[in-house]
Amino acid sequence: DQQVKQNSPSLSVQEGRISILNCDYTNSMFDYFLWYKKYPAEGPTFLISISSIKDKNEDGRFTVFLNKSAKHLSLHIVPSQPGDSAVYFCAASPDNAGNMLTFGGGTRLMVKP
Amino acid sequence: GAGVSQSPSNKVTEKGKDVELRCDPISGHTALYWYRQSLGQGLEFLIYFQGNSAPDKSGLPSDRFSAERTGGSVSTLTIQRTQQEDSAVYLCASSRQENTEAFFGQGTRLTVV
């Protein structure tokens, strides 16, 4: 039973356009959500996070939106750059669970020049 | 080193053999986590250490898996009598404290033949 789901295994976007990566979760106890980026042969690197008290968090070209009622979050990258091509993992944890995260299956983003 | 270091980077072992995977966290990080990523799967939480103690072992998939951490630093994940389904990338992460950003190592790719 996957508690965190990324239903799109891959996404292809033109350079300069917006990339939207989606994530759904089922556990209502999740209060903290993160996005990680992973290049081949490297460990995941933290990108951006959001807690359940907010519905939006922005950091440069990256914005995460949280819709608690729909149990849905999304990562927007704008403008997309070829260097953004990687696998993006959505992750979630209950409050005070630290980094014992439940990850989604990942979405492979390809940004074409 | 500056980041989380894992060794070996690749390990091929015969079914039934024991393997030991090592993680050197970032100096000063008290929290340490093990995850694994099986083929086509997302990241799966295995075990969490706070200092030398493991308050949460809930993710260990079977009693063939064990982990220890000595001196609040290096951790080893041991898999006894390996099976083919143990083939995966095993990732270690550390964080300064329980609820701060976690940094991942590059992982150990384990292949059981």
Position A98 scores a pLDDT of 65
Q: Answer whether A105 touches B (CB < 8 Å).
A: yes
Kindly report the CA angle at B88 between B84 and B91, in degrees rounded to 5? 145
Single-letter amino acid code for the residue at B87: S
Q: Which residues make Cβ contacts (< 8 Å) with residue A7, sequence separation at least 6?
A: A22, A24
Position A94 scores a pLDDT of 83
Determine the distance in angstroms separating the CA of B82 from the nearest CA of chain A, rounded to an integer. 23
Instruction: Using CA atoms of A71, B101, B107, A47 in order, give the dihedral in degrees to the nearest 10.
Output: 60
Two tokens, residue B65: 């898996």
* Contact indicator for B48, B25 with CB cutoff of 8 Å: no
Environment class of A1 (CB within 10 Å of its CB; exposed 0-12, middle 13-18, buried 19+): exposed
**Strand, helix or coil for residue A61:** coil
Q: Answer whether A39 touches B (CB < 8 Å).
A: no
* Contact indicator for A87, A37 with CB cutoff of 8 Å: yes
Q: Which chain B residue has its CA at the smallest distance from A37's CA?
A: B104
pLDDT digits (tens, 9 = 90+) for B46-80: 998 888 888 777 889 999 999 999 888 999 999 99
pLDDT digits (tens, 9 = 90+) for A46-55: 899 998 899 9
Mean pLDDT, range A89-93, rounded to an integer: 92
CB pair distance less than 8 Å for B91 and A44:
yes
Determine the distance in angstroms separating the CA of B44 from the nearest CA of chain A, rounded to an integer. 7
Split at pLDDT 50, 70, 90, the class of A81 is very high
The partner residue sitting opposite A99, judged by closest CB among B102, B106, B107, is B102
Q: Which chain A residue has its CA at the smallest distance from B38's CA?
A: A105
**Residues of chain B positioned with their CB less than 8 A from the CB of A45:** 103-104
**Residues of chain B positioned with their CB less than 8 A from the CB of A99:** 31, 33, 48, 93, 95, 98-99, 102
Mutation pick from A4, A51, A100 vs chain B, by most beta carbons of B within 10 Å, is A100
DSSP A108: E
